[in-house]
Structure 1
Amino acid sequence: MSKKLIRFDWAIKRLLRNKANFVVLEGFLSELLFDDIKIQRILESESNQLSEDDKYNRVDILTLNSRNELVIIEIQNTYEIDYFHRMIYGAAKALTENLNIGEPYSNVKKIISVNIVYFDLGQGQDYIYKGTTTFQGLRQKDTLQLSGRQKRTFNSIQVANIFPEYYIIKVNQFDDVAKDKLDEWIYFLKNSEVKDEFQAKGLAEAKEVLDIMRLDKEAQYGYNRYLDYLHLKASEALSLKIEAEEKIWQEKINLAKLILAEGEPVDKIIKYTGLTLEQLEQIEQ
């Protein structure tokens, strides 16, 4: 029988940075990237230190895997209109901070940016997106490839393998039906539960490491404060949505009254305001 576990976004700040628990992050990244990922170490920088004013909403962790690639994991709980831009900034910052002065550009590390968002980012039907960089010919319509010498020098077969790679997981868009092992991880990200039949890498360890009952009293208090914060932010978002809808509703009513005063036909009022006939009858009363 599955049980509620500590949320991944809280755990990644406090528990999963411990080398003994790397297996959980390794499991998640292995299923996402369809590879056997081993984390060498967690790299700390100013961007992923906890700050008092943003210690709950934004989570980011920078890791170095066994292939000498930099893997960024960011989690965003609330709506951020320029999140795509933040993804670019985060990848660029990690890239420049990890190239020493005097090193050739060929030493630039591959960046893998994994973004777990709990809001509707952009427009799209899927809940997992991957973004890479390719160069298409404007005249010949071909795809630019690496030369043979470049392939041997950079140990890569595609231009896209050199550039940052982006993953976006829109957690709330997942329908809770786990069709494969990656879906099992997304189910956990959304519900903080690991079903007994799940077999994805790292989830068995997550089920043990992220057991709430293993936390000491101080950690349990901090975790409960975090859950309270999420409820507060959800309420704030709902309030803003209701206020925005009320404002739009009032604007429609004011427009309808103005058109009514001009003696325009009802069908024209419905067309320009989007109000129904029943709603117009209420206004006239």
Structure 2
Amino acid sequence: MSGLQDKYINPLTDFGFKKLFGSEPNKALLIDFLNQILPEKHKIKDLNYSRNEQMGLNELDRKAIFDLYCIGKSGERFIVEIQKAKQNYFKDRSIYHSSFPIQEQAQKGDWDYKLEPVYTVGILDFIFDDHRSENEILHLIELKNQKCEVFYDKLKFIYIELPKFKKKEEELETQFDKWLYVFRYLSQLQDRPQKLQDKIFEKLFEAAEIAKFTSEEREAYEESLKYYRDIKNVVDTSMEEGVEKGLKSVAKEMKKEGEPIEKIMRYTGLTKKQIEEL
């Protein structure tokens, strides 16, 4: 079925995620979502979107392209990404990416090294192999010492394993539940559920209505949905050893259509070298 026959956009597509959470008119959506997962002291009142291109310190660092990068009113940095498929060294990549908002804070001259908090938020469309038997959906990772005491509380990694969320509409209790329900089921809905009548979700459903898109937006969304489905299909139907082969065929198609290498890397999780060799 064509994605344009759905009433609402799929927020896990590259286009859908940026449309709903990455644009100035809709930033209240991102703020509300982040505030469900942040500790009390780092709750956000306002934030500004920052362009990825400002991040790279040299030619090598241009690969640090994030879905969303924003800075809170108090200076906190947030990297927010959708991860569609498992990839090798996913955790390494997260740590590497978090180093950019840290280095970006360096000041010239007499600087005392004081840093603002850096958060990496990953919305995962897969389950970590080492967490398959656990029920926890949200993982908060911090730097701790041998006594399990927090050594440094300004660097945090928050991962949400979406496939573990199975609640039905009538079971939704918290605002966090409601957001997870939106991420998982928005594109399958025909009407706004009774449990999602808050003002913030009224705004979200309005922004997500495909009928209101321009023809350019509809085209961009359709293309984004196609790649998302290709990748999902690879992951859902392949045995573990066949996944990389399937992702390479998606990358090959994207490359043939002239998509930039950074975009192919983000969609498939393949390295630049793997893509160049296709």
Report the TM-score range of the alignment, normalised by the length of the smaller protein: 0.5 to 0.7
Q: Distance in 1 between matches of 2:196 and 2:50?
A: 30
Say which of 18, 32, 43 aligns to 2:37: 32
Root mean square deviation of aligned Cα: 2.9
Contact 1:39 1:66 in 2 (8 A): yes
Say which of 154, 159, 162 aligns to 1:168: 159
- In structure 1, the residue matched to 2:24 is 19
Say which of 153, 174, 179 aligns to 1:185: 179
Query: What's the offset of the Cα at 1:224?
Result: 1.4
Query: What's the offset of the Cα at 1:223?
Result: 0.8
Query: What's the offset of the Cα at 1:46?
Result: 3.3
Length, aligned pairs only: 216
Q: Which runs of 4+ in 1 moved over 4 A?
A: 242-245
Say which of 184, 208, 211 aligns to 1:210: 208
Q: Distance in 1 between matches of 2:167 and 2:240?
A: 27
Cα 1:225–1:47 change in 2 (3 A) is farther
**Relative contact order, CA 8 A, sep 6+: which one is greater?**
2
Q: Distance in 1 between matches of 2:184 and 2:216?
A: 25
Name the TM-score, length of structure 2 as normaliser.
0.68
Q: Distance in 2 between matches of 1:72 and 1:33?
A: 13
Identity %: 19
Q: Counterpart of 2:9 in structure 1: which amino acid?
A: I
- In structure 2, the residue matched to 1:275 is none
- In structure 1, the residue matched to 2:8 is 5
Q: Distance in 2 between matches of 1:130 and 1:106?
A: 25
Contact 2:70 2:77 in 1 (8 A): yes
Q: Distance in 1 between matches of 2:119 and 2:35?
A: 13
- Structure 2: tracts of 5 or more residues without a match: 1-5, 57-64, 244-278
Larger radius of gyration: 1
What's the CA shift string for 1:234-277, capped at 9, x where partnerless?
223345328759xxxxxxxxxxxxxxxxxxxxxxxxxxxxxxxx
What's the CA shift string for 1:24-63, capped at 9, x where partnerless?
11111112225542333111123999xxxxxxxx852111
- Structure 1: tracts of 5 or more residues without a match: 50-57, 144-157, 246-285
